[in-house]
Structure 1
Amino acid sequence: MPTQDTVQRLYDSMDFQRAVQCYLWAIPIVGMESARQTLIDNAGARSGDLVLVTGYRDVSVMMGSNVTTPYVFAHFDLTDRPLVFEYPKGATAGSLIDWWDRPLTDVGAPAPDKGEGAVFVLVGPGQKVPDDLPAGARVLRSRTQRALLFTRGLDPDPEKVRAVFETAKIYPVGQTPDGGRTRLLRFKAEGRLTSMEHPHGFAYWQRLASALKGESVEDRDRFFAAMLQPLGLEFGKSFEPDARQRKILEKAAVVGEATAKAGAFRKRVPDMRYRDDSHWEYLIPQSYSNEQDVPGGTMFEERTAFFYEITGTSAAVLSKEPGSGSAYLAAYYDKTGAAFDGGKTYRLRVPSGVPAKLFWSVTLYETDTRGLIQNEQQIVDRTSRQDLKKNADGSIDIVMGPKAPEGLEQNWIPTRPGKSWFTYFRLFGPLEPYFERSWSLPDIEPQTS
């Protein structure tokens, strides 16, 4: 028979292993809860309030985002009753997603309403679909008690985007929109802003406990729910771990975060490379399903890597229709295979004729936060919409480094010594050569002088 000491060591080891796996399992829902907390802390947003996020300072708290156009967020609590959402007419694109980051529907231009506006009724799990639905309403049944709006205005002018969303209405079923105007908020102008990045250490588990509050266990998650119980974290109960549990959770958070980072920046998912002749790879696996569950299992590793880097997804980002949606290529290493160093200078030569119907952009992110790179100049990207200096053959050299390159200042993205970074190359309205992989994007090359 095992001794008591052996038993305790084995249980501690088993609970630690389980905690690491639960850390990875929880990344999507912790990301959703972090987004909600960001809206509460930075804008005082309640359920059903809209929040306009625009400009370098505000967008810096988001993961994997860019500053080309403003964003609009809202979190919804469906615990008490369904909500009506009169989504506005106008140039927007985004999605409504549940608390596991699964889209309920796309909204705006790429959605079925084609930017003409729509009326949605958000119904929580176990709730009856109301009889008194607004005319033309579309029922969206969420599998979670909470949901999130993640969308953006397609016009770069924040005031024009504000004008669009000031026409939106959010109210409980059975009431009229005249009962009170839906608030359109902004982040506070002073003080430190809360980030959407996943919390570190023990705070991660506190955020997870908050995320699971009021939620039920889905069939696919029953084993994870069981593994969390010996760690003091249970669905529907307060989170008060003892000293032993807390020690294990703190250690597991360090290993879990390191594992998530490895899974994101050294993906072992098949067919991630865009082409064999460069280090550029797809941000989103080509076989990815927004439902996350596919025949034979759940896309556990794929969703872990994806949602460690970003918050929110939609059908549009998975579109394979040329000229619609957007496409994302990621680079975490230079031509030599080394990680990007903020104290060194690099060059990306973007060839002429990028297969993007609308425009392209290259944006830099800090490795530790997955948010916009921070610099005094507040320059994080370069896009084909800008007046960039071109080479004789029509190609464009984008320079990333701590010092402005003489003669290429308008093509420069500043980096910070001591900070590593990675980048996304976005194609808005990607065309056939991108999908066929006949178009090539060269590696980012380190510069010696």
Structure 2
Amino acid sequence: MKMFNDKCLLLLLTFSVSFSANSSEAVQSLETRFGKIEMNSDLPSKSSINQLFEELDYQQATQTYLWALPLVSYAQWKNEFQQNLGAKNGDLMLLDSYEDKLGVLTANATTPYLLSFVDLNKTGPVIVDMPKGPTAGGIGDFWQRAVVDMGQTGPDKGNGGKYLLLPPGYEFTDDGSDYYVVQSETMNNLIGFRVLDPDPEQGKKLISSFNIYPYSKKSNPSEIKLLTPKGKAWSGTQPKGMHYWERLHQIIQEEPVNERDRFYMAMLASLGIEKNKPFNPTESQLKALKSGAEIGELIAKANTFAKRFPKARYWSDRQWDKVLQIDDPSQRVENYDQLWERSAWFYEAVTNTKGMMSSTPGLGQTYLGAYTDDKGQWLDGGKNYKLTVPANPPAKQFWSMTLYDIDTRTLIDNKQKKSDVSSRNELKENQDGSIDLYFGPAAPAGFESNWIQTIKGRHWFSYFRLYAPTEAYFDKSWKLNDIEVVN
């Protein structure tokens, strides 16, 4: 009987669909995700056309927001260095103190940074004179693709040397000099490195030996100008709202369009953002841009802090992610470019080099990120937490644990003026060699040296870094515990 009823139901459904398809009655409306669309038979009514285009523009704004994250990030950083901190093209900025690093997305709080933005539109090819010593760094284009590593993971292997950086399409005639010749796909580039030597005096020597100058002045290079923020507040976090699009429009004027980006440039043109044209969006374009930036950032937060990439979780029974999911600094795999992996990393962080994606024991760095506690709950600045780091962390150089503010993705700006602990600090150890680290508004008695202060009312996330990770990290024989709530 049941089989008979099922067959009757199937016949009725078939008849209903066929009848509807052949009916002369006009379909009155269609319910969609973005509201009711009035229909004129099988076409949208004239009154619904604007509604459909508004949805198209909103979708274009959301997608281009996510696509442009790495470009806007570097453009904002460069603008802050030059407009806020007084740097000129090619000047070197030293970020060493806690206060000076507060503007950098997910900065390493342990080692000094030396950074220079170079616009090849103004200089032509430039020479980078890299000193010999324990450093990690490189040259990156403005889509945050690695042009070349420098230092220990670069072709100089820590022995120093001269790098010649060429603009896109520039044809270089060998002049007999001993250069590492590299070519960027963008006119603007970030050149920088971190000093890994724990001796401050050796670090100063490395810094003083670094230089950048135009190739045209190779016979008489001037010394690089070294600046510091001197505690002045600045922010490399991507701007919000319309300021995001203004920064994107500004940097697009300075850069060639890569072939892979032409469809996105078409989307931007629909929104009033074009190369060689002023930024003057219409009222409807403004509406789409504002909504796209708002929802785009929400999606960026989900894409970053709740990664759904298949290989994101490093240990299957832990909450730690391998945060850098880009397979190659070029951001390119066999059949596509890693758009969503790129969006995730460059919403929360900046720069990408081969050394940051270490797969060789004893070389480079690796980054593990925790956005939740062991129960999968967001990390709350008003609660107290503990992380037990097992004995013998697999780092040939050192390890560090750093906390960041969710909203700014920069170091927590707490009263303690401290956002990390590392194996370079004097930490209290347990008898088995493990170390208990504490995070919360107030320090636990007796563990002040092992504590980082969090801020009530603000969420945070963390990076656990291993410098020169050893085999125990790669074969997963060493495993980091989760962050746990404590009373």
Q: TM-score when scaled to structure 2?
A: 0.88
Deviation of the 1:41 alpha carbon: 3.3
Within the candidate set 182, 195, 215, 2:235 is matched to 195
Within the candidate set 106, 111, 121, 2:154 is matched to 111
Partner of 1:99: 142
- Name the stretch that deviates more: 178-187 or 47-56: 178-187
Partner of 1:25: 67
Q: Secondary structure at the match of 2:209?
A: coil
Closer, same or farther in 2 for the Cα pair 1:159/1:38, shift >3 Å? farther
Partners of 1:274 and 1:281 within 8 A in 2: yes
What is the identity, as a one-letter code, of the residue corresponding to 1:366? D
Q: Secondary structure at the match of 2:217?
A: coil
1:144-155 matched pairs, under 5 angstroms: 144-155=186-197
Deviation of the 1:128 alpha carbon: 2.4
Within the candidate set 357, 365, 376, 2:415 is matched to 376
Ranges in structure 1 where 5+ consecutive residues have no aligned partner: none
Partners of 1:323 and 1:429 within 8 A in 2: yes
Deviation of the 1:387 alpha carbon: 1.4
Q: Secondary structure at the match of 1:79?
A: helix
* Post-superposition CA distance 1:389-431 (Å, at most 9, x none): 1112111110101111011111111111111101111111111
Does 1:245 pair with 2:285? yes
* Post-superposition CA distance 1:320-360 (Å, at most 9, x none): 11111111111100011111111110000111111111221
Deviation of the 1:119 alpha carbon: 1.2
What is the identity, as a one-letter code, of the residue corresponding to 2:112? P
Q: Secondary structure at the match of 1:93?
A: strand
Does 1:279 pair with 2:319? yes
* Post-superposition CA distance 1:97-147 (Å, at most 9, x none): 0111011111112222122222122111122214546x2012211111111
Does 1:127 pair with 2:167? no
Q: Secondary structure at the match of 2:319?
A: coil
Aligned counterparts of 2:64 and 2:204: Cα–Cα separation in 1: 40
1:248-259 matched pairs, under 5 angstroms: 248-259=288-299
Query: Max radius of gyration: which structure?
Result: 2
- Name the stretch that deviates more: 64-73 or 37-46: 37-46
Ranges in structure 2 where 5+ consecutive residues have no aligned partner: 1-42
Aligned counterparts of 1:131 and 1:113: Cα–Cα separation in 2: 19
Partner of 1:204: 244
Deviation of the 1:300 alpha carbon: 0.8
Closer, same or farther in 2 for the Cα pair 1:156/1:353, shift >3 Å? closer
Partner of 1:73: 115
What is the identity, as a one-letter code, of the residue corresponding to 2:293? A
Closer, same or farther in 2 for the Cα pair 1:64/1:189, shift >3 Å? closer
Does 1:297 pair with 2:340? no
Aligned pair count reads 444
Closer, same or farther in 2 for the Cα pair 1:342/1:297, shift >3 Å? same
Q: Secondary structure at the match of 2:436?
A: strand
Aligned counterparts of 2:230 and 2:389: Cα–Cα separation in 1: 38
What is the identity, as a one-letter code, of the residue corresponding to 1:208? L
Partner of 2:18: none
Within the candidate set 318, 328, 346, 1:307 is matched to 346
Partner of 1:424: 463
What is the identity, as a one-letter code, of the residue corresponding to 1:28? P
Partner of 1:325: 364
Deviation of the 1:174 alpha carbon: 2.6
Partner of 2:12: none
Partners of 1:125 and 1:143 within 8 A in 2: yes
Q: Percent same amino acid at aligned positions?
A: 42
Partner of 1:360: 399
Partner of 2:132: 89
* Post-superposition CA distance 1:23-73 (Å, at most 9, x none): 000011111112212221343112211111111101111011122110011
Closer, same or farther in 2 for the Cα pair 1:174/1:132, shift >3 Å? farther
Deviation of the 1:310 alpha carbon: 0.7
Aligned counterparts of 2:247 and 2:157: Cα–Cα separation in 1: 36
Aligned counterparts of 2:292 and 2:405: Cα–Cα separation in 1: 23
Does 1:346 pair with 2:385? yes
Partners of 1:326 and 1:427 within 8 A in 2: yes
Partners of 2:100 and 2:231 within 8 A in 1: no
Q: Secondary structure at the match of 2:109?
A: coil
- Name the stretch that deviates more: 167-176 or 312-321: 167-176
Partner of 1:225: 265
Across the aligned residues of Structure 1 and Structure 2, the Cα RMSD in angstroms comes to 1.7
Partner of 1:186: 228
Closer, same or farther in 2 for the Cα pair 1:63/1:158, shift >3 Å? farther
Partners of 2:370 and 2:462 within 8 A in 1: yes
Does 1:400 pair with 2:416? no
Aligned counterparts of 1:18 and 1:235: Cα–Cα separation in 2: 17
* Post-superposition CA distance 1:142-166 (Å, at most 9, x none): 1111111131111356664343233
Q: Secondary structure at the match of 1:433?
A: helix
